[in-house]
Amino acid sequence: MSERGTLILTLIGRRLIALVALVVIVSLGVFSLLYLAPGNAVDVLLGHRPRTPATVRALTDQYHLNKPFLDQYWIWLEHAARLNFGSSTQTSLPVSEEIRSRLPTSLFLGVYAFILVVVIGVGVGALAAMRRGGLLDRLVVGVSVVSVSTPSFVAGVVLLYVFAVRLGWFPVFGAGSGFAGTLAHLTLPAVTLAAAGTAFVVKHTRAAFLGVLDQDHVVFAKARGLSATRIFFAYLLRNAVIPIVTISGVMLSSLIVGAVLVEVTFSVQGLGQLLVQSANAKDIPMLQCISLLIAVVILVANLLADIVYLLVDPRIVLGRR
Amino acid sequence: MSAVIERHLDLTRHDVRSRRRRLGLVVSICFLFVGAVVVMAIFGPLLAPQDPQAQHLALVSADPSSAHWLGTDALGRDVFSRVIVGARTAFFGPLVIALGSFTLGNVLGLLAGYHGGRVDALIMRWVDLMWSIPTLLVVIVVAGAIGASYWWAVALLVILTVPFDTRVVRGATLEQVPRPYVEAAKTLGVPGRWIVVRHIWPNISSIAIANTFLVFASSLVALAGLSFLGLGVSPGTPDWGLMLSENETLLFANPIATIVPGVMIALTATAMNLVGDWLDESLAGRGATR
């Protein structure tokens, strides 16, 4: 194996260990939510259910509340690894079932928005850079300033009013059934969710392309008479992708946060809406499960972004980060 | 030939001048808008034409009229008055976050940048860790555990925003430390704390102040978002974020009651961002030419 290959593997290994350590820290924080809540743990877990000696004993046994803190944490972590997070204090149903039933909607919304962000963001950013100083370029720069500062819930309400209430092009709320129905119902939420992220990607893509466009190898490629398409894909896109990969971690965080607000705005029955409902109802087991899930997704995605970054850019000096 | 070049020069000069004037116009509009928000935040209850809490139950979800400029909401409260009074929670919370984060971020950033070594490594490790955390989600989860309240959210957001300021200030400090004037001060035996406060900080303060405007804008959006989700101000408070969610059901009856609070949030945040960018450009430019 080449030296670079070994180095990459070592680096990934080190990152994996750091990932596990972070998951342990985050899960400890997530578990402590039970004790951060005012009142004792039994009352928190009871929620609105009546407090009787029987229910108290059942909960104490179920969550091992009479054991020391760290033992409780360890048991909780073991259960969590098997996706058993206890039952919701609102519905008394297992937390994982509720989450499983809502996950597809959120995933659909997230992937839909992500595709919009990447396709529109990279496309428009590249076009704006090619026609630097032109009308499109100035328009793009202007629109992205407003778009970055407009929160998704404001944009969502305005889009809802214009396209659903006034023009009637899209349904006002709900999730729809079947692929076409889901697509129609989730288009406005996805566009709203994508708006801020797109502006961010446009800005970075434009800067990345401007940086590459002036380089000697691109000028030389033009001088050799290569076709514009060939230059775009072989010379520009590959170099410009690197800065875009580096911001993908931040983009994912903003997509997840945005999804929470967008799902509430459009009454989409997804995980984000569930998170807000659980926070309003102080449903601790549900909060623990959702926050741990989101934390793990973000940590893993950041690791993947780092690995892609290593693979795309052969110039990176390893071990010096 | 020379005439062509002259005309070309003239064109570019004209272009630059007009662009600068246009930028000035946009920025002055931003300043005016922010000024208006500040006035509303301080004197809101005096300026509002009606009591923002008074319910006119006979006149529910009414269209705009001469009595109610922006109509009424589902409880018959005057939307125009509520928008004016709502500036208070939109302004003071973000102000506290921006100032708190400015203070702590500057102390930590200067410490890390000036001392370097283990202090720097420790502080930056922490900053990197906090950097990947989605701020709003942490506030939502903690609010879910300890109960939602506006000032708790403000306090939490101060802590979560500090890494942002720290990173910016540390970067600026690192650029100053190798400069001759710092070396000169060290040679003269000026104590480290004095060098940082009297010599380095004045040189980086412009960056830190410009950054604070950006922090203000993002805190405004975060707090309004929390209120929108029902995890910020208590129910019934006139607040732009809460009005947006309370009045969302009015999109059919009196849409302006929903749109205006939302637009106020977006415009205030945009104005603050533009002022921050402008400060950054003009102050940083001044530093570069000196």
- Section B10-21 average pLDDT: 45
Determine, for residues B231 and A148 on separate chains, whether the beta-carbon distance falls below 8 Å: no
Residue B287 has pLDDT above 60, yes or no: no
Q: Of A42-56, A72-86, A287-301, give the range with the top mean pLDDT.
A: A287-301
Determine, for residues A33 and B145 on separate chains, whether the beta-carbon distance falls below 8 Å: yes
Q: Is B68 helix (H, G, I), strand (E, B) or coil?
A: coil
Q: Number of H helices and number of E strands within chain A?
A: 14, 0
Q: How high is the pLDDT of residue B216?
A: 92
Structure tokens at B93: 């919370």
Q: Could you tell me the pLDDT band of residue B22, with boundaries at 50, 70 and 90?
A: low
Q: CB A71: neighbour CB atoms within 10 A? A: 11
- CB-nearest partner of B259 from A151, A158, A257: A158
Among A63-77, A162-176, B166-180, B215-229, the minimum mean pLDDT is found in: A162-176
Helix axes B135-146, B150-176, angle to 10 degrees: 150
Q: How high is the pLDDT of residue B12?
A: 44
Query: Is A257 in the B-facing interface, judged by CB distances under 8 Å?
Result: yes
Instruction: Summarize pLDDT for A181-209 with one digit per residue, the tens.
Output: 777 788 888 888 888 788 888 888 888 88
Q: Could you tell me the pLDDT band of residue B38, with boundaries at 50, 70 and 90?
A: very high
Instruction: Summarize pLDDT for A227-251 with one digit per residue, the tens.
Output: 878 887 777 777 777 777 777 777 8
B62 within some domain:
yes
Q: Strand pairing partners for B72? A: B78
Q: Is A176 helix (H, G, I), strand (E, B) or coil?
A: coil
Sequence-distant (6+) residues with CB within 8 A of B193 are none
| Percent of residues, chain B, with pLDDT higher than 70 | 90
CB B269 within 8 A of CB B217: yes
Query: Is A79 in the B-facing interface, judged by CB distances under 8 Å?
Result: no
What domain count does chain B have?
A: 1
- Closest residue in chain B to residue A39, using alpha carbons only: B146
Sketch the domain layout of chain A as residue ranges: 3-81, 102-281
Q: How high is the pLDDT of residue A176?
A: 66
Determine, for residues A275 and B140 on separate chains, whether the beta-carbon distance falls below 8 Å: yes
Residue B14 has pLDDT above 50, yes or no: no
Question: What is the least distance, in Å, from the CA of A229 to any CA of chain B?
Answer: 32
Stated length of chain B: 290
Q: How high is the pLDDT of residue A315?
A: 64
Residue B4 has pLDDT above 60, yes or no: no
Q: What is the domain range of residue B100? A: 2-284
Instruction: Summarize pLDDT for A280-304 with one digit per residue, the tens.
Output: 888 888 888 888 888 888 888 888 8
Distance CA A269, CA A266 (A): 9
- Section B68-91 average pLDDT: 84
Chain B residues whose beta carbon lies within 8 Å of the beta carbon of residue A34: 145
Give the CA distances from residue A318 to residues A5, A10, A249, A311, B170, in Å, rounded to whole numbers and listed in that order. Answer: 10, 10, 20, 12, 25
Q: How high is the pLDDT of residue B219?
A: 92
Query: Is A134 in the B-facing interface, judged by CB distances under 8 Å?
Result: no
CB B217 within 8 A of CB B273: yes
Query: Is A13 in the B-facing interface, judged by CB distances under 8 Å?
Result: no
Q: Number of H helices and number of E strands within chain B?
A: 10, 0
Structure tokens at A78: 């073991």
Q: Could you tell me the pLDDT band of residue B220, with boundaries at 50, 70 and 90?
A: very high
Q: How high is the pLDDT of residue B11?
A: 44
CATH of the domain at B268: 1.10.3720.10
Question: What is the least distance, in Å, from the CA of A235 to any CA of chain B?
Answer: 31
Question: What is the least distance, in Å, from the CA of B142 to any CA of chain A?
Answer: 7
Structure tokens at A188: 């406005």
Q: Could you tell me the pLDDT band of residue A320, with boundaries at 50, 70 and 90?
A: very low
Q: How high is the pLDDT of residue B92?
A: 92
Determine, for residues B269 and A150 on separate chains, whether the beta-carbon distance falls below 8 Å: yes
- Section B196-215 average pLDDT: 86
Find the radius of gyration of the CA atoms of chain B.
24
Q: Which helix (H) or strand (E) holds A38?
A: none
Residue B101 has pLDDT above 90, yes or no: yes
Query: Is A263 in the B-facing interface, judged by CB distances under 8 Å?
Result: no
Distance CA A251, CA A270 (A): 20
Residue with the larger pLDDT of the pair B15 and B118: B118
CB B248 within 8 A of CB B122: no
The whole-angstrom distance between residue B161's C-alpha and the CA centroid of its chain comes to 12
Question: What is the least distance, in Å, from the CA of B272 to any CA of chain A?
Answer: 9
Q: Could you tell me the pLDDT band of residue A319, with boundaries at 50, 70 and 90?
A: very low
Instruction: Summarize pLDDT for B105-147 with one digit per residue, the tens.
Output: 999 988 888 888 888 888 888 887 777 778 888 899 888 888 8
Q: Buried b / exposed e across A30-61, counting CB within 10 Å, b at 16+?
A: bbebbeebeeebeebbbbeeeeeeeeeeebee
Q: How high is the pLDDT of residue A173?
A: 67
Chain A residues whose beta carbon lies within 8 Å of the beta carbon of residue B142: 33, 36
Question: What is the least distance, in Å, from the CA of B192 to any CA of chain A?
Answer: 29
Q: Could you tell me the pLDDT band of residue B18, with boundaries at 50, 70 and 90?
A: very low
Residue B27 has pLDDT above 60, yes or no: yes
Instruction: Summarize pLDDT for A90-139 with one digit per residue, the tens.
Output: 777 888 888 888 888 888 888 889 889 888 888 888 888 877 777 888 88
Q: Could you tell me the pLDDT band of residue A314, with boundaries at 50, 70 and 90?
A: low
Q: How high is the pLDDT of residue B273?
A: 87
Determine, for residues B265 and A264 on separate chains, whether the beta-carbon distance falls below 8 Å: no
Q: Could you tell me the pLDDT band of residue B3, with boundaries at 50, 70 and 90?
A: very low
Identify the CA nearest to B266 among candidates A148, A17, A11, A37: A148
Identify the CA nearest to B153 among candidates B210, B228, B87, B86: B228
Residue B8 has pLDDT above 50, yes or no: no
B290 within some domain:
no
- Closest residue in chain A to residue B222, using alpha carbons only: A151
Q: Could you tell me the pLDDT band of residue B154, with boundaries at 50, 70 and 90?
A: very high
Determine, for residues A36 and B224 on separate chains, whether the beta-carbon distance falls below 8 Å: no
DSSP-assigned states of every residue in A39-64:
S-HHHHHHTTS---HHHHHHHHHHHT
B224 within some domain:
yes
Phi-psi region of A295 (alpha: psi -120 to 50; beta: other; left: phi over 0): alpha
Per CATH, the number for A102-281 is 1.10.3720.10
Q: How high is the pLDDT of residue B179?
A: 85
Instruction: Summarize pLDDT for B234-254 with one digit per residue, the tens.
Output: 888 888 989 888 888 887 778
| Percent of residues, chain B, with pLDDT higher than 90 | 15
Q: How high is the pLDDT of residue A316?
A: 58
Determine, for residues B228 and A253 on separate chains, whether the beta-carbon distance falls below 8 Å: no
Chain A residues whose beta carbon lies within 8 Å of the beta carbon of residue B132: 249, 253, 298-299, 302
Sequence-distant (6+) residues with CB within 8 A of A273 are A102, A260, A263, A264, A267
